[in-house]
C-alpha cells in the first residue's frame, strides 16, 4: 500500500501531552521512552491534519506526498 | 493540507512556555490559520494582550504585537484602532484578564462597537498567577483560592458582551478547532466589536484539581459538553443543563466607532476655521 502522507515531528518542541496519540482517529501515533509522540502507523494516515491543528506546541506537520493523487 | 504555523512564529521563543497540553497553543494556531485563510499579511494585523497565560501569545506570534497592563489590552487597542483604523486589531485575553480586572473595558468596548476582534481564552482559572479562581471557574470546582470549591456563579461571557452591544459574538473550543478557526476568521472580517470565546484547557492549574488529570480528558470534556447553537434549538432547558453552546450567537451590522469618529473629524474640519 502506498503511503500517501508524511508526518514530520519536532521533538525539540513536543511536550509529551499525548493529544495527538489520544485523538488521532486512525491511531497513527505512539510514544517513545520520553513520552514524546512518534509515528507508528503512517500507512493508516488519511491526511485529516487534526493532529497538526490540535498540537498545542506546533510540533506536527502533515504533508501530502507526490502519490496522493493515484493512491486512492 | 493545514497551514504550518511555524512560519508565523518567533522561532527563538520556541518551544514556548505554556505547559504540556495547554489549549492556548491550539487557539493561537486557529488565530494564525484564520489570518492566513483571510489572506491578510502579518503586517496588517496587530495582536494586543494584557497579562496572564493568554498574554504569552504575543511573545510567540510574529505579527505586530504589544503586551499591555493587566485587563487593559482593550483600552490600548481602542487607542491603537482610532489612530490606525486600517489595521486589523486582535486582542487575546483570558477569563481572568478579560472578565475580572478587565471586565469594565470589555463591556465598554462592546458598547462602543469599535472594530476590534477579542479572543477570550476561557481556561476556567488564573493559570500563570497560581491557579486562583476566576469569574469563569464553574461553581463547585476547586482552585488554590477555593480549597472547598467555588461558591460563585459564572458569567456567560457571550451573553454579557451581547448585552453590552457587541455586533459579532461566538464561542468555540480547543477540541472543535476547525469551527474555532472559522469563527475567528469571521470575527476578524466583521466590521465592529467581535468577540470569540475559546473554551480551552488548563491541565495544570485547573484539570489536576478537578479530576481531569490529562489534557486529553479535558478536551474530551469539551467534546462531550459542547452543543451547537443549531442542535440546541431543538433541546429542552433540562437537556441543556451543564452544556456549553458553541457556534455563532450574534452577527449584526451597526455603526462602528472609528467610522463614525472619522466622519465627525472630516465634518469638523470642513467647517470654517476647522482646518
Say if residue A4's pLDDT is above 90: no
- Top CATH class of A5-61 equals alpha beta
Q: Given an 8 Å threshold on Cβ–Cβ distance, is A53 in contact with B6? A: no
Query: Has residue A3 got a pLDDT over 70?
Result: no
Query: What are the backbone angles phi and psi of residue B19, rounded to the nearest 5°?
Result: -70, 160
Of A56-70, B72-86, B143-157, B161-175, the one with minimum mean pLDDT is: A56-70
In chain A, where are the structural domains located? 5-61
From chain A, the residues in CB contact with B22 under 8 A are 56
Given this model, what pLDDT does residue A72 score? 42
* pLDDT tens sequence across B158-211: 999 999 999 999 999 999 999 999 999 999 999 999 999 999 999 999 999 999
C-alpha cell at B139: 461553581
Q: Cα B100 vs. chain centroid, distance in angstroms?
A: 14
Chain A residues with CB under 8 Å of B18 CB are 56-57
Q: Indicate if the pLDDT at residue B3 is higher than 80.
A: yes
CA pair distance B90, B74, nearest whole angstrom: 9
- Per DSSP, the three-state class of B79 is helix
3-class secondary structure, B221: helix
pLDDT greater than 70 at residue A67: no
For the residues B43-64, what does the mean pLDDT come to? 96
Q: List beta partners, residue B121.
A: B94, B198
Confidence of residue B274 (pLDDT cuts 50, 70, 90): confident
How would residue B273 be classed by pLDDT, with cut points 50, 70 and 90?
A: confident
pLDDT at B269: 94
Statement: residue A69 has pLDDT above 80: no
What's the CA gap between B275 and B271, in Å, rounded? 8
Note the pLDDT tens digit of each residue in B215-267.
Answer: 999 999 999 999 999 999 999 999 999 999 999 999 999 999 999 999 999 99
Taking an 8 Å cut-off on Cβ atoms, the answer to whether A56 and B2 are in contact is no
Cell of B25: 497553543
User: In chain A, what residues touch B4 (CB-CB under 8 Å)?
Assistant: 52, 61
Cell 491541565 identifies what position?
B203
Q: What is the mean pLDDT of chain B?
A: 96
How far A13 CA lies from chain B's nearest CA (Å)? 5
Query: Residue B60: exposed, middle, or buried by beta-carbon count in 10 A (0-12, 13-18, 19+)?
Result: buried
Q: Does B19 touch chain A (CB under 8 A)?
A: yes
pLDDT at A66 exceeding the cut of 60:
no
Q: Give how far Cα B245 sits from Cα of A13, B170, B199, Å.
A: 33, 9, 10
> Which residues of chain B make contact with A55, given a CB cutoff of 8 A?
25-26, 29
The domain ranges of chain B are 21-270
Cell matching residue B273: 476655521
A vs B, Cβ pairs < 8 A, gives 73
User: Which tens digits make up the pLDDT trace of B75-120?
Assistant: 999 999 999 999 999 999 999 999 999 999 999 999 999 999 999 9
CATH architecture of B21-270: 3-Layer(aba) Sandwich (3.40)
What confidence tens digit (pLDDT) does each residue in B24-36 have? Answer: 999 999 999 999 9
Amino acid at each position: 500500500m502506498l503511503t500517501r502522507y508524511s508526518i514530520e515531528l519536532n521533538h525539540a518542541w513536543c511536550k509529551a501531552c499525548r493529544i495527538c496519540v489520544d485523538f488521532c482517529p486512525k491511531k497513527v501515533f505512539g510514544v517513545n521512552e520520553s513520552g514524546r509522540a512518534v509515528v507508528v502507523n503512517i500507512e493508516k494516515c488519511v491526511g485529516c491534519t487534526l493532529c497538526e491543528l490540535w498540537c498545542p506546541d506546533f510540533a506536527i506537520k502533515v504533508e501530502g506526498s507526490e502519490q496522493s493523487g493515484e493512491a486512492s | 493540507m493545514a497551514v504550518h504555523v511555524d512560519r508565523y512564529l518567533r522561532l527563538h521563543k520556541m518551544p514556548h512556555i505554556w505547559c504540556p497540553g495547554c489549549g492556548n497553543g491550539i487557539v493561537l494556531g486557529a488565530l494564525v490559520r484564520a489570518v492566513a485563510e483571510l489572506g491578510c499579511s502579518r503586517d496588517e494585523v496587530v495582536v494586543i494582550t494584557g497579562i496572564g497565560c493568554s498574554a504569552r501569545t504575543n511573545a510567540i506570534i510574529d505579527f505586530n504585537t504589544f503586551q499591555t497592563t493587566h485587563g487593559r489590552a482593550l483600552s490600548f487597542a481602542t487607542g491603537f484602532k482610532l489612530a490606525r483604523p486600517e489595521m486589523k486589531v486582535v486582542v487575546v485575553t483570558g477569563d481572568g484578564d478579560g472578565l475580572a480586572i478587565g471586565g469594565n473595558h470589555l463591556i465598554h468596548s462592546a458598547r462602543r462597537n469599535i472594530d476590534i476582534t477579542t479572543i477570550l481564552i476561557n481556561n476556567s482559572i488564573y493559570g500563570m498567577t497560581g491557579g486562583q479562581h476566576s469569574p469563569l471557574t464553574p461553581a463547585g470546582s476547586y482552585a488554590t483560592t477555593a480549597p472547598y470549591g467555588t461558591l460563585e456563579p459564572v458569567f456567560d461571557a457571550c451573553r454579557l458582551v451581547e448585552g453590552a452591544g457587541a455586533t459579532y459574538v461566538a464561542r468555540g473550543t480547543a477540541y472543535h478547532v476547525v469551527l474555532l478557526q472559522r469563527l475567528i476568521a469571521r470575527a476578524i472580517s466583521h466590521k465592529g466589536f467581535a468577540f470569540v470565546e475559546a473554551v480551552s484547557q488548563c491541565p495544570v492549574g485547573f484539570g489536576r484539581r478537578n479530576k481531569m488529570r490529562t489534557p486529553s480528558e479535558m478536551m474530551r470534556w469539551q467534546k462531550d459538553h459542547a452543543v451547537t447553537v443549531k442542535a440546541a434549538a431543538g433541546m429542552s432547558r433540562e437537556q441543556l443543563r451543564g452544556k456549553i453552546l458553541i457556534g455563532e450567537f450574534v452577527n449584526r451590522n451597526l455603526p462602528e466607532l472609528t467610522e463614525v469618529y472619522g466622519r465627525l473629524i472630516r465634518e469638523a474640519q470642513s467647517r470654517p476655521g476647522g482646518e
